[in-house]
Structure 1
Amino acid sequence: QCESILYLVVFTLIGRVLTRSSIQYSQPAMSMFTAPATINNYFHMIQVDDSNVKSEPPYISGAFVADRTFGGLSVSQAVNSFITLNPGLTPHTINYKFVAPAKTSIPLEFKLSHFDDGKMASIFAYQNEKPVGMGHIRYTNDPDNLDSSPFLCPEYIGAPDEYVNTAELAKTMEGRPKFIMEGLSKFPLEIRPVESPLYPSSDVDRTSMWLRIKPEHQDALKPNDGLLAALFISDFTILQVASEIYQKAKVKISSGASLHHSVWIHDTNLEPLAWYLTVVECEVISFGRVRLESYIFNESRKCVMTVVQEGYMQRAKEEKNKL
């Protein structure tokens, strides 16, 4: 989950393009996304027995660490494991902790167990018997009675087709900006940025963007995979708002990571190929720790998911004066 620094650069570059800056960049030496030929394995789980489920690599990585699995995929597969073993139950609250970096080339294995006296299951994620994640999933037998969200979609945000995606932005760029935008466009999401703290559309520090699974990957999704697609989206660029708040304060950040990802599901009747708007705000930022709240809306502007994430931001070490 160390993608935040790339996304900080991305939004900065978007802002510079929109303001027609003439700043030029050289080609960086950095790891970028490799476009997956298929994402069939992202949403397909293999049941081993009554308590164990696994998936097969390769998995999509983050931006700077080529062999570290994207956190949204880990959360989505954890919930998919629960659904695979319990098709008649509906998860409504997920609390997931990233224990260790998950490799992109090693199968993820999930072990589930139910509490006898409550509608809750524990889940542990492993790679080669090493724990990489753990959490709890609360569930219900009645998906029609999920809690609604009081958060309303910002009125000033337009429809997805009012914004330019990263692939189109790349065509307007040269040098480093073009390289980064083209790399980000290889992610299996179509990304249409709306705003960020450095380039706001309101007086609130927030990051907003429209996202969807790319249409060319539609064969990988079943009609009832909408919840899994939204969970996959839920971790994308979530630390971006904290990165830019630090930048506004002239604090340099060298890296960042997601630590704890909690999700409240308000609607499970979700379209797997639809657009989803993510609106992320930073509630707490202190001593390198951040607490973020993200609201995910469908195309009808209904809040279908609330995400609270704890993360950390590592400050860059100041260079000593050599004189």
Structure 2
Amino acid sequence: PLPNMLAAPASIHNYFNIIQIDESNVKSEPPFIGGAFLADRTFGGLCVSQALNTFMSLNPGLIPHTVNYKFVAPAKTSLPLQFKLNHFDDGKMASVFAYQNEKPVGLGHIRYAKDVDHLDSSPFLCPDYGSPEEYPSTVELAKNFEGHMKALMEGLNKFPLEIRPVESPLFPSSDVDRVTLWLRIKPEYQDALKPTDGLLAAMFISDFTILQVASEIYEKSNIKVKSGASLHHSVWIHDAKLDPYGWYLTVVECEVISFGRVRLESYIFNEARKCVLSVVQEGFIQRAPERKNKL
């Protein structure tokens, strides 16, 4: 469910271009894009991407290995985000604190090295899917659907991503409950990206509709979903040199779903079908209250 009041951004320059305050503090200026359930709650992928951008901007010679981000409180789309970086004294580890109006909204930990040799390749092979152009975009799908699905596709179209759905639990093409999408930053927004922003673009993409697989598993069992949120988002980086303008195939599976708490695993592949990021996320889904039938 996407809020109807979600507006397409005029520009995403502020998503990937942050302002350095001093050697350990940066800020980014709103407005930010909202998330899937609340239009005034900043999209989680933007927070994760900017936390990593903080580290990379302040430490241009270091290579991030792992990013773990905890969503401490909802970040408002209309307020500036400020990030403070701290290095651990005795390890290749840094923490990033995210604030709005001096209130903590996020906490990140970043493991890093001085070279790419510490980045391990992923053992996961890409499932046998077609290329992006073999699947209709959400713009095309919106023309063919009616009612709720049409509204959903139109809501997705306001996001600065070109989205080509491959399969999901409600629209399966395999016998596995998974959500698979081809995604890229829309060409009309790509002027906001530098050639070196590939990892930041992939981080932004890594949280997109990640809870959808759990929502659809509930819906298959006729359980209505009211809302949801990401809680912890952990990313293992397998390739540091990524194309900011390219397509990425995201494959998300739900490992655990119990009492609305979900644990998800996602693998992100580039156009060459190489796994470039592995993601583990915990989140929660709020079930809609059941209506009692009046006799």
Match 1:315 to one of 280, 287, 293: 287
Deviating beyond 6 angstroms after TM superposition, the runs of 4 or more aligned structure 1 residues are none
Q: 2:183 aligned with 1:211, yes or no?
A: yes
Q: TM-score, normalised by structure 1?
A: 0.88
Q: Which runs of 5+ in 1 are unaligned?
A: 7-29
Match 1:200 to one of 172, 189, 202: 172
- Find the counterpart in structure 1 of residue 43 from structure 2: 70
Please give the per-residue CA displacement for 1:89-123, whole angstroms capped at 9, x wherever unaligned: 01110110001110111100000100010000011
**Once structures 1 and 2 are overlaid, which stretch shifts more, 180-189 or 260-269?**
180-189
Instruction: Say if 2:16 and 2:53, in contact at 8 Å, map to a contact too.
Output: yes
Instruction: Say if 1:211 and 1:233, in contact at 8 Å, map to a contact too.
Output: yes
One-letter code of the match for 2:81? L
Query: How many Å separate the matches in 2 of 1:78 and 1:179?
Result: 32
Give runs of aligned pairs for residues 23-38 of structure 1, distance below 5 A: 30-38=3-11
Match 1:57 to one of 25, 30, 46: 30
Q: 2:140 aligned with 1:164, yes or no?
A: no
Aligned residues: 295
- Find the counterpart in structure 2 of residue 246 from structure 1: 218
Q: TM-score, normalised by structure 2?
A: 0.97
Q: Shift in Å at residue 174 of structure 1?
A: 4.3
Q: Shift in Å at residue 67 of structure 1?
A: 1.2
**Once structures 1 and 2 are overlaid, which stretch shifts more, 253-262 or 242-251?**
242-251
One-letter code of the match for 1:75? V
Query: How many Å separate the matches in 2 of 1:250 and 1:148?
Result: 39
Match 1:82 to one of 52, 55, 63: 55
One-letter code of the match for 1:48? I
- Find the counterpart in structure 1 of residue 119 from structure 2: 146
One-letter code of the match for 1:59? F
Give runs of aligned pairs for residues 248-263 of structure 1, distance below 5 A: 248-263=220-235
Instruction: Say if 2:37 and 2:228, in contact at 8 Å, map to a contact too.
Output: no
Cα distance 1:246–1:174, how it changes in 2: closer, same or farther (>3 A)? closer
- Find the counterpart in structure 1 of residue 69 from structure 2: 96
Give the aligned CA root-mean-square deviation in angstroms: 1.3
Q: 2:44 aligned with 1:44, yes or no?
A: no
- Find the counterpart in structure 1 of residue 157 from structure 2: 185
Query: How many Å separate the matches in 2 of 1:181 and 1:316?
Result: 22
Instruction: Say if 1:31 and 1:65, in contact at 8 Å, map to a contact too.
Output: no
Larger RCO of the pair (alpha carbons < 8 Å, separation 6+): 1
Query: How many Å separate the matches in 2 of 1:54 and 1:107?
Result: 7
One-letter code of the match for 2:91? G
Query: How many Å separate the matches in 2 of 1:296 and 1:39?
Result: 22
